[in-house]
Structure 1
Amino acid sequence: MKESKTMTCAELLIHLLRDTYGVRSLFGIPGVHTVELYRGLEGSDVQHITPRHEQGAGFMADGYARASGQPGVCLIITGPGMTNIATAMGQALADSIPMLVISSVNRRDTLGLGQGRLHELPSQQQIISGVARFSHTLLDASTLPEVLARAFAVFNGARPGPVHIEIPIDLFNAPVSAPVSWQAPTLYRAAPDPEGLAEAARLLRAAKQPLVLLGGGCVSAPEAARALVEQLDAPTVTTINAKGLLGRDHPMDLGANAALPAVRELAAKADVILAIGTELGETDYDVVFDDGFHLNGTLIRIDLDPEQLVRNQRTTLGLVGDAGRSLELCWCIFGAAEASRRRANRRRSERTGSSKRSGV
């Protein structure tokens, strides 16, 4: 039987965030409803950053996640705290940014009764669920490890985004017996089908005017992105969320403004387009909103979310998989094929030279 000890729900939350999920920074504004939650921070080395407004906490967490690649975590009070952070959650949802919002909510025995409790909303979870990939009300402190595991699973799923867990204020001090060391499951993102990748490589090798479009899904694999672009010798558009991925002085980087006439002309003339980790939305490719960005060639799309493969542009070959892993595999497959082609050419050259020397 695993060793366990008793702690409060609030203490267990901080313990799990720090020791199981590696959280080292939190964003939020303490309030009367979250005082007990903050007691869980006492004695820990988790940094707490206090903004002037909950919307600021949300955008701080968003920026932290973009810069670090780790989920940004917020501690938010009931009611106005949650409505304040909703805008930042909406932005994170649109850009698939991992954000964990942990809030208080009124006591379990008062939920939904409309008694005019402090900060009470008719249904806080219902209000916020529209800007969250997953929203859950904790009703039993013993289920906290499982609920947190579900939240972090979202960050490794088809599309990351904000997750909301609300904890009734009467649960913060509830005693809970939990394993001293809770082992989070190891999750791996899927890679595209090898046959599909091989077909993509075939199309790209045959391209006369290839074009690469890299979105925010690619930021975890900058080296593979650069290597693939250089193998293809293809001009590349990076979206705002992928800006700087290739390096500011990379000769293949066309920048992050696909609305420029020269870029539009290049896109329209490209015979094969590889789009990875981008939704091909107007905010990245048509910021002048005149429907002037067109892809007329063969379009290869790779995305974690299969629904993205049929949005905004007509896809020729769609591959479901993590953008970062896909970049690495594409580069390996394309590089191996190129190496094989070079070896074959070298052997043909050697045979030709040998024949010439022998007079055959």
Structure 2
Amino acid sequence: MYKLPALDAVKELKAIAVLTSGGDAPGMNPAIRGVVRAALSHGIRVYGVNRGYSGLIIGDIWEMNSRSVTNIVQRGGTLLKSDRCEAFKDPTVRHQAAEILREREIEGLVVIGGDGSLTGAALLAEESGIPVVGLPGTIDNDIHGSDDTIGFDTAVNTALDAIDRIRDTALSHERLFLVEVMGRDSGFIATQVGIACGAEMVVIPEVEFKIQSLCFQLANNRVKGEGSSGIIVVAEGPRPGLTYRIAQQLEENGQSPKVCILGHIQRGGSPTGHDRVLASCMGATAVDYLRAGYSSIMVGVQKGEVLDVPLKEVLERKKPLASEWIAMSSLLHK
């Protein structure tokens, strides 16, 4: 269980709003439910914004009640829908969004999403003065200031379930499979999945990849009778097609790999119990922070404690994949 902050309410809020933005992540619905139920318990009206910032700038907003979030904790995706809104990068558009919130007498906003969504939240709060609290909703787990993000645990377990099935074929045919998981700029998913599934190796953006070294290691493993899982986990990387390029290079070096792209199945499905609890706690605590007069913060979790992190700090710093986890991944695959 998480240690929750003890916050004193200094503001009586009439109404707040909540939106989900960017890529969807399993656990967004429990987070929405946490916001709605916590706010209503304090007599605060709650408005849901459809399709993230795209809905906010056109006033696609509706009042929610307790029944609005009944039976959604087990559902993947987001009840409020989501979108990537390029228009929100324009200060004029953000001003328009702030005016819409003021017209509805909305005195606080909770934004659930990744780094792009949190950037929009920080700019809106800075320029308009409207209190905004962000929640880290992304399967990539790459948000600074929080040890965990909403959706990461589910994405890892979804990938593991798929790989466990792929391994049956890999072992039956003594065949090598390259399994691509999400992670354009970070290897959090790939590393955790690789360790958990017992992959022969993991390819991640944080470590330089050399095809000759890979082929040598595969051959050496076969000679020693090691690395028999037949699975290589590959983070997708910044350039599309990485896994197919690796497969082609392996073929040119005498291997016969098969490619399996897990893709967006990692975003979908029912959130794990871990993600439901994490998201629910973050959602309810976001309301407490708004009532306590906070703004321009993200609710994060560090060492089992739910706490606030300034959005400026979140956005200025990158969360690195710890070197010891990279080393552990390499060690266990030998």
TM (norm. structure 1) is: 0.27
Give the TM-score normalised by structure 2: 0.29
Structure with bigger RCO (C-alpha 8 Å, 6+ apart): 2
For the pair shown, which has the larger CA radius of gyration, 1 or 2?
1
